[in-house]
Structure 1
Amino acid sequence: MEFTIKTGSPAKLKTGLLVLGAFAGGRLPALTAAVDGAAEGRIAALIKRGDLDDKAGATLLMPELAGTHAERVLLVSLGKEDEFSDKAYRDALAAAAKALAASAAKDAVLTLADVELAGRSQAWRLQQAARLLADGAYRFDALKSDKDRKDKKHRGVKKLAMLVSTELSAELDTAVLRGHAVATGMALAKDLGNLPGNICTPTHLAETAEALGKQYKFDVEVLERADMEKLGMGSLLSVARGSHQPPKFIVMEYKGGKAKAKPIVLVGKGITFDTGGISLKPAAEMDEMKYDMCGAASVLGTFKAIAQMGLPINVVGLIPTTENMPGGAATKPGDVVTSMSGQTIEVLNTDAEGRLILCDALTYAERFKPECVIDIATLTGACVVALGKIPSGLLANDDELAAEILKRGTESGDRAWQLPLWDEYQELLKSNFADMGNIGGRYAGTITAACFLARFTKAYKWAHLDIAGTAWVSGDAKGATGRPVPLLSEFLIGRTHGSSS
């Protein structure tokens, strides 16, 4: 989708679809009121008689509206004015995005970003609008045999002008660029997540990283099994033993900041398919274990977003990636492996494999002398039980870093919730035969998984995002969400002192 920012009278603009906002109760935002005046009060009359639902995100399509030059007018409810919030604004944008994606119109004008929202700047509103509207146009039909036929009947707006009543500026242009870049990163993360495990292998992730590096001019190195053996990554390699697919360790370096500035390191779990290994998972919904590489996908998506934005910051991406399969060579419950750090691990459950590949990546991260490290992983089903599918789980060894991530999550709408990382939980990882076990028992599974990782992060500030509940949705709408690319991108934007909030 192509974005522009415009000023002018909405009633006089020629467009295939004009999108207007309206509060429940009748008061109209300025640009909507201008159109209503040109239409001799038709919009206010429709709202008064109850044609537009009060709930934010409800819509009313008018094929024609006298007094305008638009072929169609879409009225979007903003909810009650005294309850207008970030969520209501995003709900309205999401509804508009759905309508734009299904419309026969090829171009549209949207006025929602001009509606005042307490505590949020015009730039923030434009960035959110660009991201949500571009993301709403996402489709994944690459593997359908009738793709060409569908493309010929493809609907959806291709050009979108966002109308504002303020003066145009470079700041507003940057906000739209950022929003669109984040949506582009999310689309890559979704594409990778939605691909099946027989296509999205560790090799495919490595090739994707190399292609990104070539396109955006950042460094990419792919370590092979022999390289990992030399480094002593026995924990990561123990997970790969049962698979015929070769494991990869992907290192990406985006150098947009000053040469001596410490980088921020993002570490993404890349289990391209997780059977559970010898501790085999139940058959039901096992197909969704292709999403166990969504942490890796989010790192790749974030790199695409920040490169497209040209952020002046140094970022390193580390992706340990392998399948977790049963087989004659597979690691068995009770086996003891040695991590790159030298610490030994008793593998009590081979389905707790994500932490086994992440711990070696977290040790490898030390060589970059990072400003901070954030790992992203579909790590524990316990996180879904604890928090549902709304926020990602957050644990950290530094409270200031955690607070910063929580703030950026709120700003982006890609929220997280912090859980404790207390030393008392470490007791649950005791092993009679190694330095630690890879599971901590029945209780506090999300916390003990993070406690395990914390043993490998003592050299730097570190945060862990458990995205098991947020990386994809199930049911009729099954698919990857692209989260937490918005959160990570906003965090990195904030680190450049360029937040649009």
Structure 2
Amino acid sequence: MEFSIKSKNPEKQESACVVVGVFESGKLTTAAGAIDKSSNHYLSDVIRHGDMNGKAGSTTLLRDVPGTACQRVLLVGLGKEKEFREKEYGAAIRTAVKFLKDTGATDAALFLTEIPVKKKSVAWRIRQAVIITRETLYRFDQFKSQKNNEFLLKRIDLAVDRKTKPVIAEEALAQGQAIAEGVALARTLGDLPGNICTPAYLADTAKRIAADHALECEVLERSDMESLGMHSLLSVAKGSHQPPKLIVLHYKGGKANDKPVVLVGKGITFDTGGISLKPGEGMDEMKFDMCGAASVLGTIKAAALMQLPLNLTVIVPSVENMPGGNASKPGDIVTSLSGQTIEILNTDAEGRLILCDALTYAERFHPTAVVDIATLTGACVIALGHVASGLFANDDDFAAELLAMGSEAGDRAWHLPLWDDYQDQLKSNFADMANIGGRPAGSVTAACFLSRFAKKFTWAHLDIAGTAWKSGAEKGATGRPVALLTHFLLNRAGKLEN
């Protein structure tokens, strides 16, 4: 999809379709009003005759509107004007794009981006329009023998008023496209089946990203991890024929001596639960257990495309968790890279076993901050559903920064407690700690476990078990939290116009 910025009058726009908005009261947006005036109140007549009520989600397509240079005018209902905020803006963009892709229009001029959104800038509106458009048009059909026909829609012009500085609009457009690319990569990796997307496939993907964007890439093999003492991570891979990988990518857009932000993504490419076998129903969705890894790979790709002036390191511990004659057993004790010992009471609590060694490995990069991202606990789904990711942090200011960027991106998280009171649930009679803390506060005790390996840096943990993919008729990866992470990096780099 090709995007561009336009500041031309809507009635003079030579396009296959011009998209304008109508509020529930029948009030026309500025662009719709301009078309109404040039067409001798054609739009007002349509509204008066009841063909458009302005309710959110409604659409009316008009052809050959007099006084215009376009082939079609699409009216999109915006709902009540007083309630038009971020969510309503995103819904309007989504409604328009869904309608456009099923028309014969090859291009469109989107004047919804001119509509003011309270406390949001034109840069925000442009970024969101691009991200939402690409999200709406995404599809995964590479394994279908009968593929859908290509969309006719190839180009969208995003309208801005003449007061908008071109440099701000163009930069926001470039940011939106980069973030959308990162989200698309994360979704594609998540949607791939486990027999294709193995740890080796993730490593090859990282190498391709590195080659495309001049990044540094290193892949540690089983022998490398054995030499380092990553026995917690390696314990998860023991039942699988797929070799484990520790993938490290470096993007160096900052100064040589600038400390990097480090992102750690859980890369369990398929999770059977191991010896603590999961129920068969819904187990196919455990291909999504590498969505943390997918999100950090998507994020570093977006950062490279935006050429952000900061240093970023991505670490992906990747294994397959399978039952087998050599698989870890409940009651086994392993020694982590940090030297702390872990009693494995449940082999299905495996994500924390690979993340803890990756967090310890992150120390060598002297990070300014570390965020790990993982589809870690079903308990987080029970707590927050599929709306917000769970956020834990050892620094409240850092947590607040991430929360704010999640809200800015429309990729929200919620701050959950990381109090020492919960640490007692991880006590073991035989090792320094157990890998589970029982049913109560399962997402909290999982974060408490990880916090024991993150004491040497500012750290946050995002539990995306409820937000990384959808089930049912819309089954598929969402690409979250790439938007949150990229906005966080944009803000850190001083490049976020909001």
**TM-score, L = length of structure 2:** 0.98
Separation in 2, partners of 1:51, 1:378: 46
Deviation at 1:49, TM superposition (A): 4.2
8 Å CA contact 1:100–1:156 kept in 2: the answer is no
Letter in 1 for 2:179: V
Deviation at 1:135, TM superposition (A): 2.0
Separation in 2, partners of 1:382, 1:321: 23
8 Å CA contact 2:23–2:55 kept in 1: the answer is no
Query: Matches of residues 333-352 of structure 1 in structure 2 within 5 Å?
Result: 333-352=330-349
- Residues 119-159 of structure 1: per-residue CA shift (max 9 Å, x gap): 11111111111111122221111111123xx3xx3224111
Q: Which residue number corresponds to residue 225 of structure 2?
A: 228
1:354 corresponds to 2:354: no
Separation in 1, partners of 2:27, 2:278: 55
1:471 corresponds to 2:468: yes
Separation in 2, partners of 1:199, 1:55: 44
SS in 2 for 1:394: strand
1:79 corresponds to 2:79: yes
1:268 corresponds to 2:265: yes
Identity within the alignment, %: 58
Letter in 2 for 1:287: D
Deviation at 1:45, TM superposition (A): 3.0
Q: Which residue number corresponds to residue 100 of structure 2?
A: 100
1:161 corresponds to 2:143: no
Deviation at 1:57, TM superposition (A): 3.1
8 Å CA contact 2:267–2:319 kept in 1: the answer is yes
- Residues 169-201 of structure 1: per-residue CA shift (max 9 Å, x gap): 111100001011111111100110000000000
Separation in 2, partners of 1:98, 1:221: 41
Query: Matches of residues 187-206 of structure 1 in structure 2 within 5 Å?
Result: 187-206=184-203
Alignment counterpart, residue 485 of structure 1, candidates 462, 479, 482 = 482
Separation in 2, partners of 1:57, 1:177: 28
Q: Which residue number corresponds to residue 254 of structure 2?
A: 257
SS in 2 for 1:21: strand
Separation in 2, partners of 1:306, 1:475: 32
Deviation at 1:379, TM superposition (A): 0.4
1:437 corresponds to 2:431: no
8 Å CA contact 1:185–1:305 kept in 2: the answer is yes
SS in 2 for 1:79: coil
Q: Which residue number corresponds to residue 207 of structure 2?
A: 210
1:365 corresponds to 2:365: no
8 Å CA contact 2:26–2:54 kept in 1: the answer is no
Query: Matches of residues 25-424 of structure 1 in structure 2 within 5 Å?
Result: 25-147=25-147, 150=148, 153-167=149-163, 168-424=165-421
Letter in 1 for 2:453: F
Separation in 2, partners of 1:384, 1:438: 19
Separation in 2, partners of 1:455, 1:102: 52
Pair 394,108 (structure 1): closer, same or farther in 2 beyond 3 Å: same
Separation in 1, partners of 2:53, 2:94: 16
Deviation at 1:72, TM superposition (A): 1.9
SS in 1 for 2:11: helix
Separation in 2, partners of 1:58, 1:267: 42
Letter in 2 for 1:260: N
Letter in 2 for 1:362: L
Q: Which residue number corresponds to residue 2 of structure 1?
A: 2
Of 32-41 and 408-417, deviating more is: 32-41
Separation in 1, partners of 2:384, 2:373: 16
Unaligned runs of 5+ in 2: none
Separation in 2, partners of 1:288, 1:35: 48
8 Å CA contact 2:251–2:312 kept in 1: the answer is yes
8 Å CA contact 2:22–2:54 kept in 1: the answer is no
Of 95-104 and 419-428, deviating more is: 95-104
SS in 2 for 1:87: helix
Alignment counterpart, residue 461 of structure 1, candidates 444, 458, 461 = 458
Deviation at 1:15, TM superposition (A): 1.0
Letter in 2 for 1:146: Q
1:446 corresponds to 2:464: no
Separation in 2, partners of 1:243, 1:302: 28
Letter in 1 for 2:323: P
8 Å CA contact 1:57–1:88 kept in 2: the answer is no
Deviation at 1:279, TM superposition (A): 0.4
8 Å CA contact 1:402–1:418 kept in 2: the answer is yes
Letter in 2 for 1:123: A
Separation in 2, partners of 1:75, 1:105: 15
Deviation at 1:77, TM superposition (A): 1.6
Unaligned runs of 5+ in 1: none
8 Å CA contact 1:53–1:59 kept in 2: the answer is no
- Residues 370-402 of structure 1: per-residue CA shift (max 9 Å, x gap): 000000000001111110101111010000010
Separation in 2, partners of 1:394, 1:115: 32
Deviation at 1:257, TM superposition (A): 0.6
SS in 1 for 2:23: strand
Letter in 2 for 1:46: V
Deviation at 1:9, TM superposition (A): 1.4
8 Å CA contact 1:103–1:155 kept in 2: the answer is no
Letter in 1 for 2:463: D
- Residues 65-115 of structure 1: per-residue CA shift (max 9 Å, x gap): 232222222111221111111111111111122223333211110001111
SS in 2 for 1:65: coil
8 Å CA contact 2:138–2:184 kept in 1: the answer is yes
Separation in 2, partners of 1:95, 1:156: 17
8 Å CA contact 1:18–1:70 kept in 2: the answer is yes
**Residues matched between the structures, number:** 497
Letter in 2 for 1:110: L
8 Å CA contact 2:308–2:490 kept in 1: the answer is yes
SS in 2 for 1:174: helix
> Superposition RMSD on alpha carbons, in Å?
1.1
Separation in 2, partners of 1:272, 1:443: 27
Deviation at 1:454, TM superposition (A): 0.3
